[in-house]
Structure 1
Amino acid sequence: MTFQDLNIIPPILKAISEMGYSSPSPIQEKAIPVILGNNDLIGCAQTGTGKTAAFAIPAIQKITQSKAKIVGAPRVLVLTPTRELAVQIEENFRFYGKYVQSRQTLIFGGVSANNQIANLKKGTDIIISTPGRLLDLARQNQIKLSAIEILVLDEADTMLDMGFVNDIKKILTYLPTKRQTLFFSATMPPPIRKFATSILRDTVEINVNPVSSAAPLIEQSVYHVEKTDKPSFLVSLLKTDGAQQTLIFTRTKHGADRVSKMLNKKGFGALAIHGNKSQNARQKALSEFKNGKVQILVATDIAARGIDIEELPHVINYELPEVPETYVHRIGRTGRAGKTGTAVSLCSSEERKNLEGIQKLTGNVIQVVKTRNKYAAMA
């Protein structure tokens, strides 16, 4: 199947072609016709499957083909949990809408709202926003949401995990009841499904690449390393791999800072990215990692949701996540767009239960490379 088979209009097809895509991914193939058909949607697909384009392309097409009820008022609202994801989604809307002249506005916290308010006053078609700042602007009467035709909740599971559910419910009171709602989530536990069904109508559900599966091109391995030995072992591992781009995951913000500082002292160029960093610092770190100026990025799970690099070769789990699904999200940052990748995990004795949970979820016994107690001599 090609994008032409999905009844995409020529200006958007031209933009898609310029991005080097010819065939839709499974989530795009299934979701685009549903969205163009005006149904509400639950799309369950893990990161790296192309779901941003799955809602961006049809949303742009729909507002291009229909007349605005209120000129200059936003017609599409995309809610997403982090600033990094908002930036990534805005880039997608800008690329796919370049030949239809759709206008999009980014809204998120951590920076002054003045420029965002100024952009809104100029008129916009699409708003991509984190919930907190959007609700603040709505309460201040700085944004009108009464003309929204399409609402997208992206990474819904993460938004609810981060405690945004009340903000989202309040935002819904500013939206028209007659709208199309698209609900995208990597996981669908009962509380999230209950929330989804409470705000959706005439719903079609699509499940693609469930979160229990990892991309087949990712080579996974695990080293049993005690907590005190992890710093020296990580240094040895990075020296062995050479100067390739590597994304390292820690469980906490403090841990990300600690690992980053340790690596810099050992002569590696490393930056940390997490929620306590300023917006400018986060964007600078992300930009330098994407363009290769910095080879190592140490991140927490939430901050890493906005990292989308097609050819990222290495992911290292410095600490195993407590939630098995998070492991799949993490390693999904490599092995994207048909590329190969490696995912290495360091597992201490305290983390054995976490490893068992991951293997139970994925149905895959991860290869143990070495099992030793002391690695200090390796560095």
Structure 2
Amino acid sequence: MPAARTGSRVSAKSQKVKGDSKSLKRKRDQEDLQKLQNDVDEFDPKPENTSKFSTLPISKPTASGLEASHFQNLTDVQARAIPLGLKGRDILGAAKTGSGKTLAFLVPVLEKLYRAQWTEYDGLGALIISPTRELAVQIFEVLRKIGRYHTFSAGLVIGGKSLREEAERLGRMNILVCTPGRMLQHLDQTAGFDVDNLQILVLDEADRIMDMGFQSAVDGLVEHLPKSRQTMLFSATQSKKVSDLARLSLKEPEYVAVHEAAAAATPTTLTQHYLVTPLADKMETLYGFIKANLKSKMIVFLSSGKQVRFVYESFRHLQPGIPLLHLHGRQKQVARLEITSRFSAAKNSCLFATDVVARGVDFPAVDWVVQMDCPEDTDTYIHRVGRTARYERNGKAVLFLDPSEEQGMLKRLEQRKVPIYKVNVREKKKLSIQNSIQDMCFKNPDLKYLGQKAFVSYTRSIHLQKDKEIFNLKKLDLDAYAASLGLPGTPQIKFQKGEDIKKLKNAPRAGLSSDSESEFEEDKKKRKKGEVRTKYDRMFERTNQDVLTSHYNKLIGDEGQAANDDDDDDQDFLSVKRVLRGDDLDGETSDGPAPGTKIIEGLGGEEPFVVDSKRREKMLKSKKKMLKFKGKGDKVVFDDEGVAHHPYKIQGEEDFIQDGSAEAQRQKFVESEAVKVKEADIDDKQLAKDKRREKKEKRKAREAMGSEDAMDGMPRLSGADDGEDPLALLASLPMPGEDSGSEAEEERRPKKKAKKWFQDDSDDERQKVKSKKGKGKVIEVAEAPNTLEDYEALAAGLLED
């Protein structure tokens, strides 16, 4: 790390004294360096001789940086690897996660360059390669802390920024921390970038860097680097393959495996569990687990970045009550760094992540590591659970396994000495969220799209796994898994080949296949792999045709014989596709329909429908073809009375001439229609007469009812109930002309309106005329008019007077 140097002005008189002091200082520095080199050469690299950093033969700047960063005691891997690194040996280091491997190679890097008196003009002296950006950032931060008193310049090259900006600073860097792809890009494209003086190469998580994902990048890097260098490889699971070591040009490497003889490959402070849950229930199980550990800090590992996005977005809408974060390789570099720092500083949080943070990244105080998806191998499992229980702290881990993955994965973990115990989920802790996720996918198309991508990416990851004893796509219930993601249907998987595609292609015809076809499919499955298939074999195996299928089924029957071996007369090479009747043979009659032929009546055609082939059988399910078989129907029209009949057609000319002359036909038509009119007139008159009689009877009935009501309203006399004649009593009553009744008649008669003092006789006359105009004639109608006669009678009554 470049340190600011301060100087004081000196006068011209003291320049000679200053020159002497500089020479003395350089001499003392040379002596110190020589003494340090001698101490390193004489140091015994046995672990029992070193327990603290103060006992190591290291320079003062390094010792001061370690002390300022509060590093005092050495871990097992540091006690064995640092002395060998100080002596310039190539190292293969393997130790458990969280054992302090970062300091095991950073201290030798600083000491190597310090003893070589490296300056910025000497170029690149040390190259540290990490598989992920997060781990590279973490290594660079540790390097800044312990190297704060050195004068070296260090840089971080991980991508995410402009290539030109990084290239401008590369020439002045002594130590570079980088990822393989970005570093190879600079070596190929950046002009003036010189690595010929490289002193030391470090690969952290070397097994991951040297696997198939980074193989081409590592090979390209090694081609640019000088062979005369020191190389150190560190990982929790180290590879000792000769091919890998030869690629990196290691010279007699020292294998440092401090925990190789340990009883377990994981830290003893780590408690590991697994639970068996079907694939379709993993989302609900994970949500219940998070709800039960809201005060914890946990990392949830998934197989792909698309799964991480979908689970994060789904749970973010459900709001479990804990801060949620997500991290995957498709994010921008700024976002990844921000999420990493936020999760490191958080006390309670849940991070959904892929394997980009599974190796080497040190998140403080992680309580739980949850593996929702089964890891690809035991090495990945060990690296994942290593994010907790670091530096002898306690930690817990849980692994979700599908029933098809349980046996194979437990077998692999047992071989690697990983102690893991089975647990069961409490029933009261289970939470059902499938309906909520389905509702969210229905309302949010973007979430539904993420769910489809997550489904496809998960199935692809299972399909590409090498260990088929653990990962078998055919044993997974993909329909239920798609439903658990809230999808309305199972997305189509396009990467499946072979028999799966053939089954999908022939699925619509599966219901129409005969028994012989099913037997043929079983025989085809039993065929040996090495058997040669001829052109005719492939022809007979075709199942997506209809024309000659029954013929092929006969040819490939049991023992290569036809179905009807007993009857030689019926063994035809091609079976008849149409049943010929007597009419078709011009007098020759057939013996009957062919065997297996079906004749269906009542389908609407002129003739019965004959099913004598698979094509004819398939026609039954085609509406278009069945309509064509039924033919064109007869067109009918409905008259005013609702009677259906064929539409009127124009008579032909010949038929018209046969019926006689036009005048005769017209006279005949007029006479027939006149007879019809007379008959209709008689019926109409009789109907009108009946209606008038009915109305008259109704009117008389109403008048009789009115007189009876009037009689009921009159006061009854005392003698009326004594058997006397009521008519006699009525006769004894005074008539209207008599004096006794004149007063009563006047009381019943309405009184005339008194004239006002300002009215005259002309006003009375105008009032009479006005009242006469306003009053209309009232006609009683028993019921609403229905016929023409009713309307005529009503009009005649209105026109009277």
The answer to whether the superposition gives a TM-score over 0.5 is yes
Give the superposition deviation at 1:323: 0.3
| Correspondent of 1:61 among 73, 86, 111 | 111
Structure 1 SS opposite 2:366:
coil
- Aligned partner of 2:184 in structure 1 is 135
Q: 1-side partners of 2:409 and 2:427: how far apart?
A: 17
Structure 1 residue 152 and structure 2 residue 206: aligned? no
Contact 1:82 1:130 in 2 (8 A): yes
Contact 1:235 1:266 in 2 (8 A): no
- Aligned partner of 2:379 in structure 1 is 325
Q: 1:135 to 1:116 in 2, by over 3 A?
A: same
Q: 2-side partners of 1:234 and 1:216: how far apart?
A: 26
Q: 1-side partners of 2:239 and 2:408: how far apart?
A: 19
Instruction: Specify the code of the residue in structure 2 equivalent to 1:194.
Output: S
Structure 1 residue 283 and structure 2 residue 337: aligned? yes
Contact 1:250 1:300 in 2 (8 A): yes
Instruction: Specify the code of the residue in structure 1 equivalent to 2:345.
Output: N
| Correspondent of 1:315 among 365, 369, 390 | 369
Gaps of 5+ in 2: 1-50, 434-801
Equivalence map 1:1-379=2 (5 Å): 1-68=51-118, 71-121=121-171, 123-140=172-189, 141-189=191-239, 191=241, 193-198=242-247, 199-210=249-260, 213-267=265-319, 268-292=322-346, 295-305=349-359, 307-370=361-424, 376-377=430-431
Give the superposition deviation at 1:356: 1.3
Instruction: Specify the code of the residue in structure 2 equivalent to 1:8.
Output: I
Contact 2:97 2:267 in 1 (8 A): no
Instruction: Specify the code of the residue in structure 1 equivalent to 2:99.
Output: T
Give the superposition deviation at 1:173: 2.4
Give the superposition deviation at 1:77: 0.6
Whichever structure has more strand as a proportion of its residues is 1
Structure 1 SS opposite 2:424:
strand
Whichever structure has more helix as a proportion of its residues is 2
Contact 1:226 1:373 in 2 (8 A): no
Give the superposition deviation at 1:321: 0.8
Give the superposition deviation at 1:43: 1.1
Structure 1 SS opposite 2:91:
strand
Q: How high is the TM-score relative to the length of structure 1?
A: 0.92
Give the superposition deviation at 1:150: 0.5
Give the superposition deviation at 1:358: 4.3
Give the superposition deviation at 1:197: 4.1
Of structures 1 and 2, the larger Rg is shown by 2
Contact 1:248 1:297 in 2 (8 A): yes
- Aligned partner of 2:767 in structure 1 is none
Higher mean displacement: 161-170 or 139-148: 161-170
Contact 1:229 1:376 in 2 (8 A): no
Instruction: Specify the code of the residue in structure 1 equivalent to 2:378.
Output: P
Q: 2-side partners of 1:360 and 1:298: how far apart?
A: 27
* Aligned sequence identity (%): 30
Q: 1:18 to 1:67 in 2, by over 3 A?
A: closer
- Larger relative contact order, structure 1 or 2 (CA cutoff 8 Å, min sep 6): 1
Q: 2-side partners of 1:227 and 1:142: how far apart?
A: 54
Structure 1 SS opposite 2:373:
coil
**Residues 204-250 of structure 1, C-alpha deviation per residue, up to 9 Å, x if partnerless?**
11112349611111111122222221212212212212232111111
Q: 2-side partners of 1:306 and 1:163: how far apart?
A: 18
Q: 1:273 to 1:353 in 2, by over 3 A?
A: farther
Higher mean displacement: 23-32 or 58-67: 58-67
Instruction: Specify the code of the residue in structure 2 equivalent to 1:202.
Output: E
Structure 2 SS opposite 1:176:
coil
Contact 1:70 1:147 in 2 (8 A): no
Contact 1:245 1:296 in 2 (8 A): yes
Count of residue pairs the alignment pairs up: 377
Q: 2-side partners of 1:245 and 1:280: how far apart?
A: 23
Structure 1 SS opposite 2:213:
coil
Q: 1-side partners of 2:114 and 2:88: how far apart?
A: 14
Q: 2-side partners of 1:213 and 1:306: how far apart?
A: 16
Q: 1-side partners of 2:396 and 2:343: how far apart?
A: 18
Q: 2-side partners of 1:16 and 1:130: how far apart?
A: 26
- Aligned partner of 2:533 in structure 1 is none
Q: 1:365 to 1:58 in 2, by over 3 A?
A: closer
Q: 1:17 to 1:368 in 2, by over 3 A?
A: same
Contact 1:247 1:314 in 2 (8 A): yes
Q: 1:310 to 1:299 in 2, by over 3 A?
A: same
Q: 1-side partners of 2:269 and 2:56: how far apart?
A: 28
Give the superposition deviation at 1:70: 7.2
Contact 1:248 1:316 in 2 (8 A): yes
Q: 1-side partners of 2:161 and 2:120: how far apart?
A: 29
